[in-house]
Structure 1
Amino acid sequence: MAEELRRLRLHQRILRDFGQIALEGLEIGPLLQRAVAQAARATGVGHTKVMRYRAEQGDLLIEAGVGWKPGVVGIARFGTDLDSPSGRALQTGQAVLIDDIRGHPEFRLHPVIADHGIVSLLNVPVTFGNMIWGVLEADSELPGHFSEADAEFLETLAALLAGALQRLTAVQTAEVAAAEIAVRAERRAVLLRELQHRAKNNLALVAAMLARTRRAAITEQNARAAEWMGQLMQQVTAIALAQDRLSAVEGGGLGDGTTTDLAGYLRALLGSLGLSLGGRVVVEAELDACALPFDRAVAVGLVVNELVTNAAKYAYPEGGEGGIVRVVLRCDPSKAEAALTVSDEGRGMDPQVVEAAQRAGGGQGSDLLRHLARQLGGEIERGTPERGTSVTLRFPYVV
């Protein structure tokens, strides 16, 4: 069970990281190569490939891969019929797992597969909407290498990849079709709404897998793993809420569709956190109106998520009286600086004790805060109020 849980954790990290990569707007080639590399890492194999379905040729062409000999990627073609493992995944829309293809009565052995000593195969389709894009495949020289967990992982990775490919395809189509500025602007808005919808669905897939792992940890009475998974689920929720707020800023001259209404995003995030705390802690917010690029807003949101969660845990622990957590955001364009302060009136705790408690529980809260502060080009300051705890994040802010 410990090895299975370790592998599931690796799957969660890879999916979370690839979900972020899928939002970066990479070209199709680099995106596909990232996908096959992460598939190899997660399933522990030396050969992976992603194949594009070519309706005009009636075949599957390897577009990117890991571990193949020269002359395979970009050249090798696979069948789309049901006797082909990748073809069956394409035709049925289902994962195809083969423990040992040697002499298998239902599938033929492709020369490329035989030449590389491949024995077991796992194929999943890459589809979006009503469009079949292709197939993602992992291959092993060992019989019976793949498990159901590997199949679930590869299916989720394929879903994330499909969302990114759909976005890229839609953008390319829009760029070709848009002849006038007004048409381009409207089409961009449509694409952004579609991106938000797809990204939210993709993040929901990751959250579902995290929840499944958390339930397994609870069943096994692994409190440390369950708490760690719960923290990851909150962080995924914070990113999903930021995606919902991705929009043009009214009246701010930033209508490029890449900025986030930071105050609105934090209000939504704090509302979600308040519900998750079950009313034990009241969150009060005083937020200046300001806008940040999406990635910076997500970083600020993750800081708020961490600090508010810490306040609820350490200032107002379960079993005791609840209290108030205050979140104040001040944005000063004239000074090119923003300050975010999270404070409470609880019993307080020495920062070193907090960090020691977090590490004992498997958390890495202090490391995360320092990383996020560096990402924002800012710094964390700990105040010394007469009662409770106060932490301030200062970071550059330029309109």
Structure 2
Amino acid sequence: MNLDSDFHAERATLRSRLRQQRLVAGFGAEAFRARDFGELLRRAAEITAEGLGTDFAKVLEYIPREEALLIRTGVGWRDGVVGVVKLGADTASPAGYALKTGEPVITNHLAGEARFRTPAVMAEHGVRRAINVIIQGEEGGPAFGVLEADSRDPKGSFSADDVAFLQAVANILGLAFDRERDRTTRDLLMREVHHRVKNSLQLAQTVLNLQARASEAEAARGQLEEAARRIMTIAAVHERLYTGRHFGRVNIAGYLGQLTDDISTSSGAASAGRAIGLDLVPGGETAECDADRATTLGLVATELVTNALKYGEGRIVVRFDPGAEAGHMRLVVEDEGAGPPPGFDPALSRGLGMRLLVAMLRGALTIECSAAPTRCRFIADLPPEAH
């Protein structure tokens, strides 16, 4: 009978270890694909509780300035614990000891534990047993915190094999933490770069505008003003890159809206009764693109709107379609004028603005005009974003 009991116990243990191995392997694959570090922490807590069969699990984030461990995420805890409750990070705390020494901590009898105090939140939830391991990436680098599993069951016990499972999950988190830290540092540096570039471009724009005002020759003044608007277009891209919701991506609707407002103000269009409106097809409100494509799109819009102000009539409408055909972005600028003369070829134009458009669009510029009602429409198609 004892042999039979031992056999079943060994089989149960083996199944448990195999399940833990599968969980670790699956979590490693998730971590490789993950882009949201917070979601990965939550999954680690879920996998910990599942792999160890515990009532509770938590990821504790070390807050150095407070010498505390914040319960960043977890499973099983009452409302008001996760993201709020902090534990001591000193060595009198089980989690604090694991953090400070780097050694795993098993406490199978918290009530009788002489080495550590029992945190109030664990006592409140009736926790009897706990196991803690450090979450740390590259050797010698800063620790993120501690991964912990807690149980109310007084009969079972955590083992060295459980430590191995928990540490494997924590090690995956440590690697993800290194990646997140590197990404954060890189993003901060790039935000600073874009901020400085934007400031430099705005300074250049200001100098050109001052020169334009001081110029007595009308042709020279117009050229300087156009150059200033082109610089303003590029500066706006850099501003969007470091202030946008998704770093390195530009929300096109917001960018074009700001751009048309700036052109209206700088050109005096509003005071002259030349309204400039923005029209977005469904999906245009949330469309995003990278810096290169946003710069091209902005310069195309600036040139076409400026052209409509100089040679067109009436209200100007900027229409944007993020996916007109197979990922091609389409920008349409329409006014109420008669348009260029018959046979006009943008590629043969002597104007700098048209030559810029031809170079940027590589021939993907169409002009449509109608007499009733009088309309002139410039249609620019941008190729799909490179990946």
For this structure pair, what is the TM-score category when the shorter chain's length is used for normalisation?
0.3 to 0.5
- Rg larger in 1 or in 2? 2
Scaled by the length of structure 1, the TM-score of the pair is: 0.46
